[in-house]
């Protein structure tokens, strides 16, 4: 008998209503269908429920073959064990879980030191659910600092068109004009000259991205701050910079130590990063830091009486598990500077090697080669007319590889690329397998008369 959408047989209701019983039937899961629109009338044994849900999840893609996401897809078993032990701890309840709160503060201070804060002990910061929340908080602080200047115009935020969509959301939610500097030619991110040209007295800040999601390149943070220094020295507005280091802030300190992009630049007011990207932790955890208390207006920090204690909070979210923060601290302890350097260098080595070999195939032209973020973008070479990047992406998916194809933003919508993100756990061996599949796919696609995609259905990219 096949049962649908919560309907059960008389026998099932009699023997299986208690979730602690009724698990002796080895074929019970085969007799049931999962509910889609309403609750079942009774409970199921835990093993049966697990099998049913797990079976459906087999239809998801393989996370290890997902070369689209920046998010961590592999951690050590010890980290997974620690997260399981902490998943029931409420991160906001610092009075009940003071040591989890202490680990959060240690992470903030360690990041402040990593990012060369003048006084790591004076840095204001917190964990978040990811960089999107962190960016919202940083944007709020920029707007509040601007409002105290007594300006009367509409506030605006200057950033490149390559920013992650969370910045566009911030501008919409907090009524800020987004001044998106378009790409031009082979300039795929914000430059210093373009940033200054879009600033005025109502600019609350400039966002510089350390690691563009479009192609993996770093924006020239030091050049941008220098141009803003010159603007202020000439009598123009004094505009702070926020560095969106969602990925690069956990790569550059270990692999590009001479690159000056962080709190060594006095104009950098705040920095965010994603612990669940190149911070090497499962989702979702992010971090946002302000160089000192003056950079975070005090009215944005609330004191909340919660479960017996007064605690300061300036995150948007309230209750969330402490597992990710514990995992972040574990990773800091486990790897240290040399461990992070080794892991990130391994990813960069795989990325640059794979990029070079794809470039040697012939039908592709490299835009970047993974020597900043371990991320690179390629497009089809001139003269390739039988297929496009969308065809390649679709065919690679048949083998389980998730390699996104997308067009660039306004002014360069003519440019369509494949982007490959190399993360911890993606090895040279897996890169060899990808290259073999890519070579086969290109050979087959070269025999078709033209690309299969309808150009009208292509979309932009927001990851």
Query: How confident is the model at residue 210, as a pLDDT?
Result: 98
Q: Is 244 helix (H, G, I), strand (E, B) or coil?
A: strand
Query: How confident is the model at residue 379, as a pLDDT?
Result: 97
Query: How confident is the model at residue 16, as a pLDDT?
Result: 45
> For residue 321, what are the β-bridge partners?
90
The residue among 332, 363, 398 that closes a domain is 332
Q: Is residue 69 part of a domain?
A: no
DSSP conformation letters of 340-353: HHHHHHHHHHHHHH
Q: Is residue 278 part of a domain?
A: yes
32-37, Cβ contacts within 8 angstroms, sequence gap of 24 or more: 32/3, 33/2, 33/3, 33/4, 33/5, 35/5, 35/6, 36/5, 37/5
Same domain for 112 and 255? Answer: yes
Q: Is residue 338 part of a domain?
A: no
Distance CA 402, CA 430 (A): 13
Name the phi and psi angles at 378, rounded to 5.
-135, 155
Query: Tokens in use for 413?
Result: 């919508």
Q: Is residue 389 part of a domain?
A: yes
The number of distinct structural domains making up the chain is 3
Q: Is residue 131 part of a domain?
A: yes
Q: Is residue 63 part of a domain?
A: no
Same domain for 381 and 427? Answer: yes
Q: Is residue 462 part of a domain?
A: no
Same domain for 322 and 357? Answer: no
Same domain for 372 and 223? Answer: no
Domain coverage including residue 316: 77-332
Query: How confident is the model at residue 307, as a pLDDT?
Result: 58
Per-residue pLDDT of the chain (463 residues; tens, 9 = 90+): 344 444 444 444 444 445 555 556 777 877 888 999 999 998 988 988 999 999 999 999 899 899 999 999 999 999 999 999 999 998 887 778 889 989 999 999 999 999 999 999 889 999 999 999 999 999 999 999 999 998 889 999 999 999 999 999 999 999 999 999 999 999 999 999 999 999 999 999 999 999 999 999 999 999 999 999 999 999 999 999 999 999 999 999 999 999 999 999 999 999 999 999 999 999 999 999 999 999 999 888 877 665 566 666 787 887 888 999 999 999 999 999 999 999 999 999 999 999 999 999 999 999 999 999 999 999 999 999 999 999 999 999 999 999 999 999 988 999 999 999 999 999 999 999 999 999 999 999 999 999 987 554 544 444 5
Query: How confident is the model at residue 288, as a pLDDT?
Result: 97
Query: Tokens in use for 109?
Result: 């201070």
365 close to 279: Cβ distance less than 8 angstroms: no
Burial status of residue 214 (CB atoms within 10 A of its CB: 0-12, 13-18, 19 or more): buried
Q: Within the chain, what is the greatest distance between any pair of CA atoms?
A: 84
Q: Is residue 68 part of a domain?
A: no
């Amino acid at each position: 008998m096949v049962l649908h959408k919560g309907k059960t047989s008389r026998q099932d209701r009699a023997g299986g209503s208690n979730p602690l019983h009724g698990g002796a039937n080895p074929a019970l899961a085969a007799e049931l269908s999962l509910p889609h629109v309403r609750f079942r009338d009774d409970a199921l044994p835990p093993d049966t429920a697990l099998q049913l849900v797990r079976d459906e999840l087999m239809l998801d893609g393989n996370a290890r073959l997902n070369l689209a996401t920046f998010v961590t897809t592999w951690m050590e078993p010890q980290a997974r064990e620690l997260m399981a032990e902490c998943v029931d701890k409420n991160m906001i309840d610092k009075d009940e879980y003071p040591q989890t709160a202490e680990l959060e503060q240690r992470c903030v201070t360690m990041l402040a030191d990593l990012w060369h804060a003048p006084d790591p002990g004076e840095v204001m910061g917190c964990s978040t659910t990811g960089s999107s929340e962190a960016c919202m908080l940083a944007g709020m602080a920029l707007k509040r600092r601007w409002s105290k200047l007594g300006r009367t115009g509409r506030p605006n935020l200057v950033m490149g068109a390559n920013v992650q969509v969370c910045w566009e959301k911030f501008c919409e939610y907090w009524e800020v004009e987004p001044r998106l500097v378009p790409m031009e030619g082979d300039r795929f991110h914000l430059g210093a000259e373009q940033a200054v040209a879009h600033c005025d007295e109502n600019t609350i800040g400039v966002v510089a991205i350390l690691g563009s999601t479009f192609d993996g390149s770093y924006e020239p943070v030091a050049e941008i701050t220098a141009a803003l220094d010159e603007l202020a020295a000439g009598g123009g507005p004094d505009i702070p910079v926020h560095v969106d280091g969602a990925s690069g802030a956990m790569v550059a300190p270990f692999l590009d130590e001479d690159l000056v992009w962080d709190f060594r630049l006095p104009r950098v007011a705040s920095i965010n990063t994603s612990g669940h990207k190149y911070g090497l932790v499962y989702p979702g955890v992010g971090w946002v830091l302000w160089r000192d208390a003056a950079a975070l207006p005090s009215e944005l920090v609330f004191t909340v009486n919660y479960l017996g204690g007064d605690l300061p909070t300036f995150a948007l979210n309230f209750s969330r598990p402490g597992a990710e923060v514990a995992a972040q601290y574990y990773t800091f302890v486990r790897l240290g500077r040399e461990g992070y350097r080794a892991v990130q260098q391994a990813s960069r080595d795989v990325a640059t090697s794979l990029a070079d070999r794809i470039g040697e195939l012939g039908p592709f032209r490299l835009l970047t080669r993974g020597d900043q973020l371990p991320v690179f973008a390629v497009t089809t070479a001139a003269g390739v007319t039988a297929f496009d990047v969308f065809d390649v992406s679709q065919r690679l998916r048949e083998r389980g590889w998730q390699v996104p194809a997308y067009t660039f933003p306004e002014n360069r919508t003519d440019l369509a690329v494949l982007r490959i993100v190399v993360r911890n756990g993606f090895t040279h061996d897996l890169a060899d397998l990808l290259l073999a599949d890519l070579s086969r796919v290109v050979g087959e696609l070269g025999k078709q008369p033209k690309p299969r995609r309808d150009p009208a259905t292509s979309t932009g990219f927001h990851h």
